[in-house]
């Protein structure tokens, strides 16, 4: 089981980091006292459905937080390889973020309401934990999308693993695909509906796909769409997008759109993307 302990300076982006980890398949828990982490990790380890866990623990836990080192030692003794992800940002940026959000710093009362003093105190208190962290991410100069990409890059073989692409087919006669990020109309291609032996079949059948792709314009359109999609996906990933829906529409959503959704899904899988297919109207009469 993979266990990541997310901690760091308040306002440095821990919430964004844990959202990324959740998107790439981690079971996430926020604001857990360190003393509970070993027992919780043991429970997760005994559950075959949980293979990746991320736990956020930070100064919000008060005095309990400073038991983190002891908890990490217990994890290692029990055979759980816990990694610590520490997030930080410059003092100036942290002050700016708190002023913009008007959130209360966890050490606000101890610092007498002085946000700068609260941040300085937290940085000093967390310095021993920072020194033993496995990963340190400085969010000072990072946009939200860049932060997400950097976090995903630490815990994935490929950052594109962090985004799930859904290839969807639909029929315009039943309504547009409102949930789609990209919509391509393939009604310009020859329609298998008018071929008696193909009419009742769908684009999931090889015969239908062979017919649709037997035309020069179909191949040309497919190749151009592949080029466009291959160009766009890295940019969506860099913006931190975790889900992309690519929809192909034809008249009834049964032949041409299904063919293109299936071919696109196969192409993206070959590129290493996580892909799902959905054929909304393929079984409608």
158 pLDDT band (50/70/90 cuts)? low
- Report percent pLDDT > 70 for the chain: 98
Q: What is the mean pLDDT of residues 69-75?
A: 94
Q: What is the DSSP secondary-structure string of 87-109?
A: EE--HHHHHHHHHHHTPPPTTTT
34 pLDDT band (50/70/90 cuts)? very high
Domains of the chain with bracketed CATH: 2-156 (3.40.50.300), 162-279 (no CATH)
| Cβ-based neighbour number of residue 269 at 10 Å | 13
How high is the pLDDT of residue 247?
A: 96
- CA atoms within a 13 Å half-sphere pointing along the CA-CB vector of 98: 23
Helix axes 68-77, 37-45, angle to 10 degrees: 30
Let me know: does 8 contact 135? Beta carbons within 8 Å: no
How high is the pLDDT of residue 160?
A: 57
Let me know: does 250 contact 193? Beta carbons within 8 Å: no
Q: How far apart are CA 155 and CA 146, in angstroms?
A: 15
As a whole number, the mean pLDDT across the chain is 92
Residue 193 has pLDDT above 70, yes or no: yes
How high is the pLDDT of residue 159?
A: 52
How high is the pLDDT of residue 153?
A: 79
How high is the pLDDT of residue 259?
A: 98
Per residue in 206-216, pLDDT (tens digit) is: 999 999 999 99
Residue 101 has pLDDT above 90, yes or no: no
Q: What is the mean pLDDT of residues 5-24?
A: 94
Q: What is the mean pLDDT of residues 159-169?
A: 79
Let me know: does 154 contact 135? Beta carbons within 8 Å: yes
Q: What is the mean pLDDT of residues 250-278?
A: 95
Let me know: does 185 contact 170? Beta carbons within 8 Å: no
How high is the pLDDT of residue 157?
A: 62
């Amino acid at each position: 089981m993979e266990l990541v302990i997310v901690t760091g300076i308040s306002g440095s982006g821990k919430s964004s980091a844990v959202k990324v980890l959740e998107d790439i398949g981690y079971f996430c828990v926020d604001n857990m006292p360190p003393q509970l982490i070993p027992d919780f990790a043991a429970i997760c380890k005994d559950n075959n459905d949980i293979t990746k866990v991320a736990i956020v623990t930070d100064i919000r836990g008060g005095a309990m937080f400073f038991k983190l080192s002891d908890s990490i030692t217990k994890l290692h003794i029990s055979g759980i390889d816990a990694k610590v992800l520490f997030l930080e940002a410059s003092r100036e940026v942290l002050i700016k973020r708190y002023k913009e959000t008007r959130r209360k710093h966890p050490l606000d009362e101890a610092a007498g309401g002085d946000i700068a003093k609260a941040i300085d105190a937290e940085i000093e208190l967390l310095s021993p934990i920072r020194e033993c962290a496995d990963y340190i991410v400085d969010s000072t100069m990072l946009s939200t999308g860049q932060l997400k990409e950097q976090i995903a890059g630490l815990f994935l073989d490929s950052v594109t693993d962090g985004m799930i692409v859904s290839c969807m087919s639909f029929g315009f006669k039943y309504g547009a695909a409102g949930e789609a990020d990209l919509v391509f109309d393939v009604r310009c291609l020859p329609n298998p509906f008018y071929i008696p032996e193909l009419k009742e079949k769908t684009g999931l059948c090889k015969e239908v796909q062979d017919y649709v792709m037997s035309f020069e314009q179909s191949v040309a359109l497919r190749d151009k769409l592949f080029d466009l999609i291959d160009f766009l996906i890295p940019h969506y990933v860099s913006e931190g997008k975790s889900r992309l829906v690519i929809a192909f529409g034809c008249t009834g959503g049964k032949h041409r759109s299904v063919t293109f959704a299936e071919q696109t899904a196969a192409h993206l899988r070959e590129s290493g993307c996580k892909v799902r297919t959905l054929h909304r109207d393929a079984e409608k009469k």
